[in-house]
Amino acid sequence: MQRAVSHSRTDKGSDEVPGTLFVVATPIGNLEDITFRALKILKNCDLIAAENRSHTKGLCGHYDIKTRITAFNQHNQKVKAPDLIRILKSGKDVALVTDAGTPGISDPGGTLIKMTASEGIRSTPVPGPSAVAAALSVSGFPSEKFVFLGFLPVRAGKRRKELKGLSNEQRTMVLFEAPHRIVGTLKDIHDILGDREMVVLREISKVFEEIKRGPASLIYEDFRSRGVKGELTLVMAGDKSTRQGPILSEEVFERISELLEKGMTIRDIAGKVSGEYGLPYRKVYKESLARMNEQEDVEAALIDKKDKD
């Protein structure tokens, strides 16, 4: 059988020379975005390991690719990964594909790639479409340095905790989200990070592609008012308050603490104090959130100490 790509192999005296795992990027929407090299690999490899067989069958059918397809996903990866390693060790080449984009990024492909590395089996990337790169390219935000967050935790408590940890992140942030969770995630982003500038891309490169730009509050209200379908990629501006803006006085800090003790919400405190002192809303919001977190940490420490006593 013709090899997808000629490459040197090292014969260590074994009868079988291991095959190669090709990590193949596939279209995230428009089928015409696939590369010539990816098509050649998929046609000439011995097996395609796909996150979703039916989805990949559609892609292969479109390009008249007859290669056998096997499922490899989060539900069967523990059982299937060793099987694929045995196939690779027998000298066969395997193409790893995800539903859309580049395998190994927020999908189970990373498990197989790690195993090939530990087994001394060659894996090689076949570059192509990436939702992360596509979203960054049209965001207009700084992209020299950025943070990819994958999917935030499903549970609201864990999601909010992770967002709190990102409150001082100055780099552009990129994350994925499912349509049934997008409204809750946008609300948490607004409540915790403030009215951060964002770009939300839905159905990238597909017929109904949509790109929404603006502050988190406006995008939240828009999505809350209508149904949302399709996978989403969010690009979020980094925090700028630590690099610019006025330093809050001790009087302002005391006022924030006073309102926190009265049980006011962070949003209400930010609105009230920024109006009273003529300060930027986002700056007051961030400092109010920091004060609240400090108080919670102190209270937790006191409770822990009391339990130990």
Task: Say if CB 239 and CB 165 are below 8 A apart.
Answer: no
d(CA 284, CA 277): 10
CATH topology of domain 21-129: Cobalt-precorrin-4 Transmethylase; domain 1 (3.40.1010)
The domain limits of the chain are 21-129, 132-236, 250-302
The pLDDT value given to residue 248: 76
* Model confidence pLDDT, tens digit, residues 147-171: 999 999 999 999 999 998 998 899 9
Mean residue pLDDT of the chain comes to: 88
CB-based burial, 268-291: b 16+ in 10 Å, e otherwise:
ebbebbbeeeebeebbbbbbbbeb
Distance CA 195, CA 254 (A): 24
Q: Which of the four pLDDT bands, split at 50, 70 and 90, describes residue 298?
A: low
Percent of the chain residues past pLDDT 70, beyond the cut: 89
Residue 211 tokens read as 């790109």
**Dist. CA 211–CA 70, nearest whole Å:** 34
pLDDT, tens digit (0-9, with 9 covering 90-100), for 49-73: 999 999 999 999 999 999 999 999 9
Q: CATH assignment of 132-236?
A: 3.30.950.10
Task: Please state the length of the chain.
Answer: 309
DSSP letter assigned to residue 152: P
Confidence category of residue 304, pLDDT binned at 50, 70, 90: low
pLDDT of residue 5: 43
Query: Per residue in 165-189, pLDDT tens?
Result: 998 899 999 999 999 999 999 999 9
